[in-house]
Amino acid sequence: MAGTSNADGGAGIDPMHQFEVHPIIELPTIAGVDTSFTNASLWMVLAIGLSSLFLIIASRRTSIVPGRLQLMGEMSYSFVANMVKENVGTEGMKYFPFIFSLFVFILFCNMLGMLPYSFTVTSHLIVTFALAATVFLLVTLVGFARHGVGFLKLFVPSGIPVVLLPLLVVIEVISYLTRPVSLSVRLFGNMMAGHTMLKIFGGFVVGLSSAGLIPLAIAPFALMVAFTGLELLIAGLQAYVFTILTCIYLNEAIHMDH
């Protein structure tokens, strides 16, 4: 939601300020890579720390009749496991740890981003693109490892007139290559737009009330509350969408059915 509140305050609130990355601990550049620990790094570490902590505690008790926490852990496991089984089949269970980690990571990053003054890791295109590119690489590698050169048949639709074939192959290749882009932009766009909108409404509330027009600030405030609920839904939904699309791409690479 809200980023760090601006010193200039009021109407001068910059809705994009919340996305700024600034180092917390300066670290040396190793092999051309800046390793500085930034606010983005902090929230990534928090996301994996909290999710790991939750799941480790939830899976510590292995009783036959689960407690509340154990049930929550098992339900998140079953949720992703069923998604993989339904969309990819049992062969897909080999990649279940990866898909589960992906889901947990995105979900926790999105949800932690809903906290006031937090930083939304997934509102940065570079992060979502890196995740999407990892998925794209995995899917492509799995496809070639399973079918060899035959994986290229994926780009040749069956039952199409030969005249149209060159055009369709080009379209198929482009649509395949743009997958990491669409996958990453969908998540990044949803996160950034939602947080920007909340910030703008927040700016209205602060601006109007500091100008003494508190009754007028009620409407944007109510909208903000409503949009916060919507954003929570979107945070969960986008984690789900990212994960299920990964499953669908993986299924295509394994089974090659269009």
Partner 1 sequence: MPQLDPSSFGSQLFWLAICFVTLYAVMAVVVLPRITKTLAARADQMEGDLAQAEALRDKAEAALAAYEEALAQARTRALGLAQDMRADVQAETDRQKGELDASLAEAAKAADIRLEDARTKAMEGLQTAAQNIVADVMAAVGVEKADEKAVAKAVTQAFASTSDTVKAG
Given the rule CB under 8 A, which residues bind partner 1? Answer: 16, 19-21, 23, 29, 32-38, 40-41, 44-45, 47-48, 51-52, 55-56, 58-60, 62-64, 66, 70, 73-74, 77-78, 96-98, 100-101, 104-105, 121, 123-127, 130-131, 134, 188, 192
Query: In whole angstroms, how close is the CB of 87 to partner 1 at the nearest point?
Result: 18
Query: In whole angstroms, how close is the CB of 25 to partner 1 at the nearest point?
Result: 11
Query: Toward partner 1, which CB reaches closer, 94 or 153?
Result: 94
**Amino acid at site 97:** P
**Closest to 22 (Cα-Cα) out of 8, 40, 6:** 40
Judged by DSSP in three states, 204 sits in helix
Query: Toward partner 1, which CB reaches closer, 127 or 183?
Result: 127
Query: Toward partner 1, which CB reaches closer, 57 or 152?
Result: 57
Which residues are 33's β-sheet partners?
30
Query: In whole angstroms, how close is the CB of 159 to partner 1 at the nearest point?
Result: 40
Query: In whole angstroms, how close is the CB of 242 to partner 1 at the nearest point?
Result: 13
Q: Are strands 33-34 and 29-30 parallel, antiparallel or unpaired?
A: antiparallel
Structure tokens at 191: 């996160």
Query: How many Å apart are CA 64 and CA 15, to the nearest integer?
Result: 49
Query: Toward partner 1, which CB reaches closer, 75 or 160?
Result: 75
**Closest to 206 (Cα-Cα) out of 16, 20, 2, 17:** 2
User: What sign results for the dihedral spanned by CA atoms 136, 140, 143, 145?
Assistant: negative
Query: In whole angstroms, how close is the CB of 226 to partner 1 at the nearest point?
Result: 26
Query: Toward partner 1, which CB reaches closer, 10 or 23?
Result: 23
Judged by DSSP in three states, 161 sits in coil
Looking at 33-67, list the stretches that DSSP marks H as alpha helix, in order from N- to C-terminal side: 39-58
Query: In whole angstroms, how close is the CB of 202 to partner 1 at the nearest point?
Result: 18
Structure tokens at 215: 């009754």
Query: Toward partner 1, which CB reaches closer, 64 or 149?
Result: 64
The answer to whether residues 123 and 192 touch, using CB atoms and an 8 Å cutoff, is: yes
